[in-house]
Amino acid sequence: MLRKLKVLPILALLALPGCLEQQVATPGPLKLDDCGAAGYGGLVGTPLSRFDVSAVKSPVRVLAPGSVMTMDLRHDRLNIEHDKRGTITRVYCG
């Protein structure tokens, strides 16, 4: 019985770190145009072929209709959505 009583304080100390509050880093506030999407707004309604991906310095993601995409939010990434005909329908950051 004494042996069990000696083990209890050790178990309590081992469990203590799980009770501590952990701080999680949070990203700064999202600005509406961190990726420069406003500069590409004029492309909406034009063929995707007029968009030069290599000219953009930030990450770019081109999204076809119904395409699978990650749900990670990257405020510096330029997203270009287009329709089935290859016409740009939306330009945004995210």
Comparing C-alpha atoms, which of 67, 62, 55 is closest to residue 91? 62
**DSSP character for 21?**
P
- Does residue 49 surpass a pLDDT of 80? yes
In 10 A of CB 43, how many CB atoms? Answer: 19
For 57-87, write each residue's pLDDT tens digit.
889 999 999 999 888 889 999 999 999 999 9
74 near 92, Cβ under 8 Å? no
Instruction: Look at residue 79 in the predicted model and tell me its pLDDT.
Output: 95
pTM over 0.75: no
- Does residue 23 surpass a pLDDT of 70? no
Sign of the dihedral defined by the CA atoms of residues 32, 89, 39, 35, in that order: positive
